A and B are shown apart, each in its own frame.
Chain A
Amino acid sequence: MGCAANLNLAAFCQQILVGLSKTTILFIVSSGLSLVLGVLRIPNLAHGSLYMIGAFLTYSLALLFGGGGLGFWLALLLSPLCVALAGLLMERGLFRHLYEREHLMLLLFTFSFTLVFGDLVKLVWGSEYRSLPLPSFFQGSIETFGLPFPKYNLFLLAVGPLVAAGLWYLTNRTAIGKIARAAAVDREMVGAIGINVSLVFCAVFVIGCFLAGFGGALVAPTQNITQGMDHGIIMETFLIVIIGGLGNIWGALLGALIFGLTDAIGILLLPQYAIVFPYLAVIIVLTFRPNGLLKSTW
């Protein structure tokens, strides 16, 4: 009896850890979305597509570099950079001209990007599933709570706090971060004191896209890379950003935690309806805190 209880507790902790490594990915992607939303006020639905492209690029680049450990690291670095470059082109070419438009228009504009990117991925990679094998040093698992825990998830657990710290440093300690935060509150004033707001916006958008690509790169070895993976993630990250408070990075972290953990616990309680739990959490949060948990920049 006692043994069974221990085992359940172990399974519970295990599941929490798995949930936390999912949280890492969610946090990285939604922090990028949150930046773009908070500073540029673009509800960027194409963010999920960039994530998907990041995953596909990681797959292709890792194979291009021989599929070994070195190739994996290179792909992990290069594919977010490629996505960031795409973001640069998008921002300078198109979004720059649309900042004054209504949010609804911007939302649909980015939605049309998801349509284009969706077909672009189909054109380049075809429509079958891809899966990227883990490099040898990430294969296997270690014992936690008496149950095996994949090594790669441990790596994810380490990356999450690193990204959070990096973003904190960027927004609180660097000039561009401070300008971006100021521009989020009052862009005219920032422009009036002689700062090129347009460039700051561009930088923020590119960083946001980089984070989307990075999330995609990290997720690539853990699941099938498919067309349509953009639909799932964009909804999740949007809800995370909303429940955390629009434009608030810590809100994104908190929201990702809520999402990742309710998902993990949901799988334990009612496996068949597990996908329902995160949405329930969102509804509960928004019923009591309609503007999100933390202060929004909007």
Chain B
Amino acid sequence: MFVTGLLATSLNMVLGFGGMYQFGHAVFYGVGAYTLALFLTKTDLPPWIGFLAAPLVAAGFSLVIGLICVRLSKLYFGMLQISLGSLVWAITFRWYSLTGGDDGINGIPLPELISSTTGAYYCTLAMVLVSLLVMFCITRSTFGRIFLGIRDNPERSASIGINVKAHQLVGMVIAGFFAGVAGSLFVVVEGSVFPDLMFWTLSLEILIMCLLGGWFTFLGPMAGAAIIVAMQTFVGSYTEYWTMILGIVLMLAIFFLPEGVLGFLLEKLAIRSTTGTGD
């Protein structure tokens, strides 16, 4: 849940704060996971290099894909990203000698410190918290402010001399970097990787988490991920048709809570504190 939450938060860096329709975010997650997995299985280098490389390689992919996509806007941007993502997915799916094809890579040897469940848990928790903190600082920095400005009014931002495309690109690279961190943590938790980590349905699922939790708030995606993972666990234990329930809940949410759960709660709190009635 923490890993998914981190992934959703990294997506929201560009989605909620940059207003960019990042539809292929899962690719960077998958690339991060595969990078670490390949480092641990195919090389004798010390593991920490793999952990360092995973986010960097993901950020590199993000840079390349960003360079191609960033000229486009909104839906076109998103769809080009999906097709680039599908390309990466398809290659991963078929390149048996390197990636294990559709079977993925199983039984990845983890370093001793994190091979136990508790070790993995604390390592993941720490990494997630640090990443969240860094991302929070980024959103509060000058760069974050400029990013918000671009989301709200790209033309005006451009007219006051901000290089909109360059900022969007940097935003994508940052988001890709943290998606890579999330990907490496997936390996720590699961000990395996498979191509579905990059499939576009996962990209949309994390988009849903952002929207459900509230994409205009920093912690919204985390809340969204928590809600969905909790639903999956509880509803999934009662019926195998839990995605249907999820679909219905989602429809209701889109109808009645366009700001997301956290956005809705914050709005309620804001109204209470300003009117001061609070019954």
Cβ–Cβ contact B250 & A275, under 8 A? no
A193 within 8 A of B: no
Also in contact, A287 and B247, with CB within 8 A (given A105-B254, A108-B208, A119-B241)? no
Complex CA–CA separation, A276 to B90 (angstroms): 6
The contact of A242 among B79, B86, B94, by CB within 8 Å, is: B79
B211 within 8 A of A: yes
A149 within 8 A of B: no
The contact of B254 among A45, A108, A118, by CB within 8 Å, is: A108
13 chain-A/chain-B pairs, Cβ below 8 angstroms: A104-B211, A105-B211, A108-B250, A108-B254, A109-B254, A123-B244, A239-B79, A239-B82, A276-B94, A279-B84, A279-B86, A280-B87, A283-B83
B73 to chain A, nearest CB (A): 9
Q: Which residues of B contact A282 (CB under 8 A)?
A: 80, 83
A237 to chain B, nearest CB (A): 11
Q: What is the interface size of chain B, counting residues whose CB is below 8 A from a CB of the partner?
A: 37
- Is chain A's binding surface mostly helix, strand, loop or mixed? helix
Cβ–Cβ contact B87 & A108, under 8 A? no
Within 8 A of B (CB), among A75-129: 94, 97-98, 101, 103-105, 108-109, 111-116, 118-120, 122-123
A272 within 8 A of B: yes
Q: Chain B: which residue is nearest A117 at the CB level?
A: B247
Cβ–Cβ contact B83 & A112, under 8 A? no
Q: Which residues of B contact A111 (CB under 8 A)?
A: 204, 208, 250
**For chains A and B in complex, what number of residue pairs have CB atoms within 8 angstroms?**
109
A260 within 8 A of B: no
A231 within 8 A of B: yes
Cβ–Cβ contact A279 & B87, under 8 A? yes
Complex CA–CA separation, A105 to B199 (angstroms): 21
Given contact pairs A112-B246, A112-B248, a sample of 16 additional A-B residue pairs in the complex whose CB atoms are under 8 Å apart? A43-B75, A101-B258, A104-B21, A108-B207, A108-B208, A109-B250, A111-B250, A112-B247, A115-B244, A115-B246, A116-B243, A119-B244, A122-B240, A239-B79, A280-B87, A283-B80
Within 8 A of B (CB), among A265-285: 272-273, 275-276, 279-280, 282-283
The contact of B90 among A103, A115, A118, A273, by CB within 8 Å, is: A273
Cβ–Cβ contact B91 & A276, under 8 A? yes
Cβ–Cβ contact B76 & A119, under 8 A? no
Cβ–Cβ contact A279 & B251, under 8 A? no
A13 within 8 A of B: no
- Is chain B's binding surface mostly helix, strand, loop or mixed? helix
Cβ–Cβ contact A115 & B250, under 8 A? yes
Cβ–Cβ contact A115 & B243, under 8 A? yes
The contact of A112 among B82, B200, B240, B250, by CB within 8 Å, is: B250
Cβ–Cβ contact B258 & A113, under 8 A? no
Point out residues on A near B: beta carbons under 8 Å.
Answer: 43, 45, 94, 97-98, 101, 103-105, 108-109, 111-116, 118-120, 122-123, 231, 235, 238-239, 242, 246, 272-273, 275-276, 279-280, 282-283, 286-287, 290-291
Complex CA–CA separation, A235 to B204 (angstroms): 12
Flag B113-126 by CB within 8 Å of A: 1 or 0 each: 00000000000000
Complex CA–CA separation, A45 to B251 (angstroms): 14
The contact of A235 among B71, B200, B248, by CB within 8 Å, is: B200
Complex CA–CA separation, A115 to B208 (angstroms): 12
Complex CA–CA separation, A103 to B246 (angstroms): 20
Q: Which residues of B contact A120 (CB under 8 A)?
A: 244
Also in contact, A283 and B71, with CB within 8 A (given A112-B251, A231-B201, A242-B76)? no
Cβ–Cβ contact B243 & A119, under 8 A? yes
Complex CA–CA separation, A168 to B105 (angstroms): 50
Top 10 nearest A-B pairs (CB, nearest first) are: A115-B247, A119-B244, A116-B247, A112-B250, A112-B247, A279-B87, A282-B83, A119-B241, A115-B243, A242-B79
